[in-house]
Amino acid sequence: CTARPSQQVGYREQWAPQATSARSEPTAMRSVVCGALGDPTLPIGRGVLSVEQRPAPEVGQGEVLIDVAAASINFPDALMVQGLYQVKPPLPFVPGSEVSGVVAATGPGVRRIKPGERVVAVTMGGAFSEKVSVPETAVFKLPEGIDLEAAAAVPVVYGTAHLALVERARLQEGQTLLVMGAAGGVGVAACQIGKMLGAKVVAVVRGAEKVAFMRSLGVDAVVDSAALGQQPLHKAIKAVAKKGANVVFDPVGGSQLAEAIKAAAPWGAQYLVIGFATGEIPKVPANLLLVKNMTMHGIFWGSYMQARPRVLLDGMAEVLARIADGSLVVHVSHKFPMERAPEAFEAILRRQVMGKALLLMAPVSRL
């Protein structure tokens, strides 16, 4: 099939399997393919997902061909396979949006990236494959000392958290950061970046295991939403953040949004809308925004790739440097081979993942 130009990010759409050039020798690869919308937890070949042999992509003008070590699974990937995400690629498609691996080849015009280098990349679809070809602007070189597989967990969640807290909210030392859904991938990244910036971090999670995990990260306070009894969530938050939160980081949505707004500082707080892990897009109580002089930001990291790519490059450079020096630590709780992709989706949907889950595409020793 032929590729379609992306309307969102300004480069070749990656969802559909790419044809090889007639001028080059085709190379086979395997991909996890979504052939119909539905439950992503059903076994491979008996549900909507299959593992298929396909031609490897060609490397085009300004593009980088990557032998993939690992691909990260994000909550939107599960929503997309179910047909519940705002982006709806035509069927069949290959899910996934971020990979780590080794550069196999570069196309004409590529200057920053060289064959043989270890990299992470944002694919905007098509990541659950043994090979991907993406624009050079979406590829980031890995500093020494960063684990190649774990690096696949970095771009979207750490990039989003850095963009939201540093570029948009301008989080300051001494301010209070409230992180909803803090045990998920982007929540963990936000907690770590908040601490790195010198903020007081209050984490909201559900269940004793996640409370212990948050404490191991060194956050200042943890609220267990499963142990509130009759107490409203905002009061539990206010009990540990008496002056309220200066910045709210919310990848959860749903009914917790109103509670988080109530827990915000009485004047000038900022609310970062990151996503809707509950599957419910909430109504915003605009009256509370008004009386609190509160600012609400929508954060869509992927759109910056077209509108302000320099911001992403600079942000990722800082994130990767901080991971390399140990200031930030990537947490991966689950790893699966691609044939077990449904189990990975089940772990995501059952909220069993703390940090990130990965699909392993090839042994690192082979790359």
Topology of 158-302 in CATH? Rossmann fold (3.40.50)
- Please tell me the distance from the alpha carbon of residue 88 to that of residue 82, in angstroms, as a whole number: 10
Superfamily holding 28-154+330-366: Medium-chain alcohol dehydrogenases, catalytic domain (3.90.180.10)
Q: Which of 98, 158, 166, 106 is nearest to 128 (CA)?
A: 98
Instruction: Please tell me the pTM assigned to this model.
Output: 0.88
Q: Which of 342, 152, 187 is nearest to 274 (CA)?
A: 187
Reported as a single tens digit per residue, the pLDDT across 290-318 is: 999 999 999 998 888 888 988 988 999 99
- Please tell me the distance from the alpha carbon of residue 82 to that of residue 357, in angstroms, as a whole number: 18
- Please tell me the distance from the alpha carbon of residue 140 to that of residue 127, in angstroms, as a whole number: 15
Give percent of the chain above pLDDT 90. 83
Domain spans, the chain: 28-154+330-366, 158-302
Name the band, by pLDDT with cuts 50, 70 and 90, for residue 17: very low
Section 249-272 average pLDDT: 96
Reported as a single tens digit per residue, the pLDDT across 43-65 is: 998 999 999 999 999 999 999 99
Strand bridging mode 221-224 / 200-205: parallel
Planar angle of CA 193, 195, 196, nearest 5 degrees: 60
DSSP 3-state assignment of 32? strand
Residue burial 337-349, b: 16+ Cβ < 10 Å; e: rest: ebebbbbbbbbbb
Alpha-helical regions (H) of the chain: 75-82, 155-162, 185-196, 208-217, 233-240, 256-262, 286-291, 304-307, 309-324, 341-349
89-92 long-range Cβ contacts below 8 angstroms, 24+ apart: 89/13, 89/15, 89/16, 89/125, 90/15, 90/16, 91/34, 91/35, 91/36, 91/37, 92/16, 92/17, 92/33, 92/34, 92/35
- Please tell me the distance from the alpha carbon of residue 133 to that of residue 19, in angstroms, as a whole number: 12
Planar angle of CA 256, 80, 210, nearest 5 degrees: 40
Section 187-212 average pLDDT: 97
Reported as a single tens digit per residue, the pLDDT across 62-92 is: 999 999 999 999 988 999 999 988 889 999 9
* Same fold: 28-154+330-366 with 158-302: no
Question: What pLDDT, on a 0 to 100 scale, did the predictor assign at position 86?
Answer: 82
pLDDT of 21 strictly over 60: no
- Please tell me the distance from the alpha carbon of residue 103 to that of residue 201, in angstroms, as a whole number: 38
Tokens describing residue 175: 């301010």
